Structures are given as C-alpha cells and as structure tokens.
A and B are shown apart, each in its own frame.
Chain A
Amino acid sequence: MDESRRGFIGKAFGAVAAAGGVASLIAMKKTWDPLPSVMSAGFTTVDVSGLEANKLEIAVWRGKPVFILKYTEDMKPTDGRSVKVGDHYYSVMIGLCTHLGCIPGYEGDKKMFKCACHGGEYSADGVNTFGPPPRPLDIPPFKIDGQTLVLGEEGPEYKKMTAKA
C-alpha cells in the first residue's frame, strides 16, 4: 500500500511542480522577446518620386540597407521581381549579399551589383549571376502608397510577387 500510494501522490505532486516549472520557462522565454517598441518601429517610408534613374538609393529598414534602383528606359523589368510605382519600374531589394551578408556595390555603367567579399554578382533586378550567392537578393515586404513605398508592410503587389515565386 505504502509504495504505490506514495508513488501516486509523489507522481501527482511532481507533475504539478513540473507544470509550474514549464509555465515559468514560458514566461522567461517571453521576457527575451523583442520589445513592442522594436516590433512597431519595423516600418520605413520611402518617397521614390524624386529618384534618379540608374542611381542606387539606399534606405534603412529594421537596421538593414534596402536597395531601391529606378530603371532607365532601356532596362527591362523582370516579371515577379521588379516593382512598378506610378509610371516607372524599380528594383526593391535588401542590400545584403545572400552568400554571407556583405553589402554589394552597384556598377551603374554595367548595370550590375558586385560583392567585394567573395566576388558574387547580381543583375540590376537582383538575380544572382555569378559566384557563391545561392539565391537572388531578398525582397522585403512593401506596400505601394501613391509615390511612396512603405517597407515592412505586406501590400497586394508584394503578396502577388511572393505567391508567384
């Protein structure tokens, strides 16, 4: 009698104690979460109306550089990658090499990006063309609002793009 009764109560008590421990761990995990002020600050607004064609504009979104490149007349937009704002096309991409995260430089005369760290190359629409980068430059969530881009918000155009890919 003793062993099994004590065994049952011991197990029940142990289970309740463990439940308390798990609840504490969950609370502790949440304490590590990024603060509400950090999450709400994850939006950047960019006005593209005054941009020069073929001149790279760099915005900052969530601490990362975002490349915004207005196309010239002869640059062809890529389906599923180029963004149309008003009458012009733009590349909107996170300016971090998909290989190991360096910031590639833009060469306007060749209309391509080159990464100094390990020689990776991308075309103007951000598609990786040479070297170690495993995939094209990432496209951040964006929303088109007239002549402004709101980085961080998923607009319908972004949703369509990511659905296609």
Chain B
Amino acid sequence: MAEFKKADSMLEWFDQRLGVVNFMKVMMTEYWIPKNINFLWAMGVLLTMLFTMLLVSGIFLLMYYKPDVNMAFDSVNYTIMQEVAYGWLFRHIHAVGASVVFLVIYIHMFTGIYYGSYKKGREMIWISGMLLFVLFSAEGFSGYMLPWGQMSYWAAYVITEIFGGIPFIGDELVVWIRGNFYVADATLTRFFMLHVLLIPLAILGAIVFHFYSLRFPHVNNEEGEFFDFHEESEKYLAGNKKESKVIPFWPVFLSKDVFVMGVFLIFFFYLVFFHYGFAMDPINFDKADGLKTPAHIYPEWYFLWSYEVLRGWFFEIAGISGKDLGLMAFGFANIIFVLLPWLDRSPIVKPANQRPMFKYWFWIMIADLMVLTEFGKLPPTGPNAWVGFGASLTFLVLFIALPFITKIEAKKAGGK
C-alpha cells in the first residue's frame, strides 16, 4: 500500500486518493485548444448540452410513459402533457431537443468537412463522429415510435419494410426485426428497450471515445495550421498568454462556449415554448391506425435528404428496378460519409475557401443536400420526381468524383 501522509487541506486529501489535481490539469486547465477558432468550434459543447437535456427530460418522461400499444398514446398526450406537473415541458424539451440536436450535428459535421478536420491523424475522430450520427439517427427513429401516433406507426412500418429489399433473407428479416408480421406491441416494446437503454449506452461510450480520440491529433484551427502544442503551451504557462497560439479548455475555451450556449438557448427555448410544430408533427396527434395511412407521410426533417435518395429512383435503369436502385443508392449514401478521409486524396488541411477545387465541391454538396431535403418533403409527383432524381444522381456523382477532384487539386498545389 502507498504511503499516505496527513493531508493539509481537503483538496490534498482528495488528490492523494484520486489524483484530482492532475486530473483537472489534463482535462481542463492544461488541455490546450488553438486560439484561432470561431464560434463553430462551440458546436461540440452544444451537442453535449443537448444530449444532457435529452437524457434528463427522457428520465422524467420515462416515469410516466407506458410502452404498450393500448396505453402509449394516452400516457403521452393525456398523463404527461396534461396531468403531470411540467410534463408538457419535459416532452417539448425532449421533442424539440431531438430535432435541434440534428441541426447542430449537421453544422458540426459540415464544419469538420469544411476545415478538413477528418484527415491527417484525425480519421478516428471523424469515424467516431459518424458513428455518433448513426447512433443518434437510430435513437431518433426508435424514439419517434414511442408516442404511437400515425407518423410513429407508419414511419416504423415503412422503414422496417425497407429491409425486405435485402436479397434472400429480406422477408424473414423484416418479421424478425418487428417481432411480428406487422408493426405491433412487440415492435413497440423492443424499440422502447433500444431507445431507453441500449442506444443511450452506446452513445455514451461513443462520446467518450470521440473525446479521447481528439486528444492525440489535437483540435483543428481556422487556418488548418500545424503548430507545436507543447511549445505554445509553455509560452502560455510562462505568462505569455497573448503571444501563445493556444488557450486552455478551462476557463478560456469554455467561457466562449458558455456564451454561445446562452445565445443558442434563447432560440432553443423560443422553439420549445412557442414554435414546436416542426418537431411534433400534427399528424402524430392522431392515434396509430394500422388500417389507414395518412394522406401525407414523411420522415423527420433530418432524414429527408436520405429519404429522397431512397425514393428518387422511380424508373428502371439497365435492367435494375427503380426500387432496387434507390435501395442501393440509400445504402451508399449512408456509408459514404464515413469514407471521406480516404475519398479526399489531398493531404492539405485548409479551410475549403482556400482550396481551389474543393470549395466548389463543398458548396455544391451543401446545395444538393438542401435540394434533396426539400424534395424529400414535397409529394413526389410530376416535375418534383425529376428534380428528386437529378439531385439523387448528383449526390452519387459528387462522391464518386471527389477522389479525382482532390487528386488534381493536390497535384496542382504540390507543383506550386
């Protein structure tokens, strides 16, 4: 056993037993972040805050929610929304939070793409981030089922039906996933388990890994500049704060984050209290009815681009049916972002506006995703169907072209 002398203060007592002084240095006061960053660097903390709000509001919803097809709808819309003190507030925070978290995820993700924060040693950060995106998507999808409204039911039905497209095992797989031939009580309870236990645990693990993977290559900066973190941190610790290129996580980095958070929360709570229809679709206030599909059916906004890639293919090409083409394109679209570090053949880490060809690729991709999102919502009739098809095709072409574009860009830059 190590020798323990009498501690002179409470801090020393804890430090002897838990190493808190060093822990605070490593995690906070001597965790170095570049100084040349903008408010987009606060998105990570914003996501942590939103996830915490989802977790806490979820805990209170869990006290009153009943995962049973006969009781779910009323447990939400009567008990929680109208009987439980502040039940409506926790539900609104949970629903709006779940929608807004994807807005921040996308901003966070596209910031990473813009500044090249996925390559040159940062691949694991990117991959764990994409894993978090997939986990949050699964969490959102499973959660949406729980109120057991019309959208809950039909979203679950349509999305589980997709697996029927897998060759040979498709039909059996769908029944296995659902636990029944149709979306029934068995489906609800297992999605409840996923939403409340398994996926949150996986998310917590992935977040820890995501934070861990950040430490080695260090956080990126606005210029993509490489500098010696050790040298710069020495300058800061010596008192040369203005010249140092780094700042400590606490209090400097977090003080700006907290301000960004404060402004964000004004907007967030405006949505929670006054403008929440986009996150709590009116159609879902109709109880689930397996014998009646709503006239207009669509997923939550953050799935629309992906949904349009799936259904944008409405005619046969080269002997493959539109449905199968869509399925393949959908599979491609959901994997391809993960491979970004290897599709970008240029080793240059610079913001997009300083990369002559990538900057066009980036903004065309953003525009394409916006078009896909819009047309994923509109009824796919007439000219809408063609625009949707064009946008889906563009998406594939963009990612297939990326390796070539970036290779050319790298060569030009190397030749300079």
| A, B: real partners | yes
Binding site for B on A (CB under 8 A): 27-28, 30-33, 35-37
How many Å lie between the Cα of A37 and that of B86 in the bound state? 15
- Residue of A with least CB distance to B60: A31
Chain B residue nearest to A35 in the complex (CB): B83
Give Cα distance in the complex from A33 to B83, angstroms: 11
The residues in B between 9 and 62 inclusive whose CB is less than 8 angstroms from any CB of A are 60
Q: Considering the chains assembled together, what is the distance between the CA atoms of A33 and B79 in angstroms?
A: 13
For A32, list chain B residues within 8 Å (CB): 63
Tell me if B84 is interfacial: C-beta within 8 Å of chain A. Answer: yes
- Tally inter-chain residue pairs, CB-CB below 8 A: 21
Chain A residue contacts of B97, Cβ below 8 A = none
Query: In the complex, what residue of chain B is closest to A20 when comparing beta carbons?
Result: B265
B124 contacts the other chain (CB 8 A): no
**B83 and A31 contacting across the interface, CB-CB below 8 Å:** no
Cβ of B90 within 8 Å of any chain A Cβ, yes or no, is yes
Report the minimum CB–CB distance from B89 to chain A (whole Å): 7
B87: interface (CB < 8 Å): yes
Residue contact B60 to A28, C-beta cutoff 8 Å = yes
Within 8 Å CB of B85, what residues of A?
27, 30-31, 33
Residue of A nearest to B87 (CB): A31
Say yes or no: B83 contacts A27, CB within 8 Å: no
Q: How far is the CA of A111 from the CA of B89 in the complex (A)?
A: 55
Secondary structure at the A interface, as helix, strand, loop or mixed, is: helix
Minimum-distance CB pairs A-B, first 7: A30-B85, A27-B86, A35-B83, A31-B60, A31-B86, A33-B85, A31-B85
Q: Are the CB atoms of A31 and B79 closer together than 8 Å?
A: no
Q: What is the minimal beta-carbon distance from B92 to any residue of chain A, in angstroms? A: 13
* A33: chain B residues within 8 A (beta carbon): 85
Q: How distant is B273 from chain A, measured CB to nearest CB, in Å? A: 14
Question: Is there contact, CB below 8 Å, between B84 and A35?
Answer: yes
Q: How far is the CB of A39 from chain B (nearest CB, A)?
A: 11
Chain A residues with CB under 8 Å of B86's CB are: 27-28, 30-31
Q: How large is the interface on B (under 10, 10 to 19, 20 to 34, 35 or more residues)?
A: 10 to 19
Question: Complex formed: what's the CA distance from A37 to B85 in Å?
Answer: 12
Q: What are 21 pairs between A and B in contact, CB < 8 Å?
A: A27-B85, A27-B86, A27-B89, A28-B60, A28-B86, A30-B85, A30-B86, A31-B60, A31-B63, A31-B84, A31-B85, A31-B86, A31-B87, A31-B90, A32-B63, A33-B85, A35-B79, A35-B83, A35-B84, A36-B83, A37-B83
Q: Which residues of A contact B90 (CB under 8 A)?
A: 31
Give the residues from 60 to 106 in chain B that come closer than 8 angstroms, CB to CB, to chain A: 60, 63, 79, 83-87, 89-90
Alpha-carbon separation in the docked complex, A32 to B61 (Å):
11
Q: Bound complex: CA of A27 vs CA of B89, how far in Å?
A: 9
Query: What are the residues of chain B within 8 A of A36 when measuring CB–CB?
Result: 83
Q: How far is the CA of A124 from the CA of B85 in the complex (A)?
A: 43
Nearest residue (CB) in B for A37 is B83
Considering the chains assembled together, what is the distance between the CA atoms of A37 and B60 in angstroms?
18
A27-B86, A33-B85, A35-B84 are known contacts; what are 18 more A-B pairs with Cβ within 8 Å? A27-B85, A27-B89, A28-B60, A28-B86, A30-B85, A30-B86, A31-B60, A31-B63, A31-B84, A31-B85, A31-B86, A31-B87, A31-B90, A32-B63, A35-B79, A35-B83, A36-B83, A37-B83
Residues of B close to A37: CB separation below 8 A: 83
User: Smallest CB–CB gap between B248 and chain A, Å?
Assistant: 15
Contacts of B63 in A (CB 8 A): 31-32
Q: Give 1 or 0 for each of B163-184: 1 = CB within 8 Å of chain A CB.
A: 0000000000000000000000
- Report the bound CA distance from A30 to B84 in whole Å: 8
Minimum CB–CB distance from B211 to chain A (whole Å) comes to 23
| A30 to chain B: closest residue by CB | B85
Find the A residue at minimum CB distance from B86: A27
A37 to B79, CA, bound (A): 10
**Chain B: CB-nearest residue to A17:** B258
Chain A residue nearest to B56 in the complex (CB): A28
Quick one: closest A residue to B251, CB to CB? A10
Scan B342-356; emit 1 where CB is below 8 A from any A CB, else 0.
000000000000000
- For A27, the closest partner residue in chain B by CB is B86
Shortest Cβ distance from B389 into chain A, in angstroms?
A: 48
Give complex CA distance A35, B60 in Å: 14
Nearest A residue (CB) for B82: A36
Residue among B63, B86, B89, B90 with the highest chain A CB neighbour number at 10 A: B86
- Inter-chain CA distance A30–B63, complex, in Å, is 13
B259 to chain A: closest residue by CB: A13
Nearest CB in chain B to that of A24: its residue: B56
**Distance in Å: Cβ of B268 to nearest Cβ of chain A:** 14
Interface string of B315-349 (1 = CB under 8 A from A): 00000000000000000000000000000000000
A29: nearest residue on chain B (CB-CB)?
Answer: B85
Across the interface, name the chain A residue whose C-beta is closest to B85.
A30
Residues from chain B with Cβ under 8 Å of A27 in the complex: 85-86, 89
Bound CA span A32–B64, Å: 10
Query: Considering the chains assembled together, what is the distance between the CA atoms of A36 and B83 in angstroms?
Result: 7
Residues of B within 8 A of A31 (CB): 60, 63, 84-87, 90
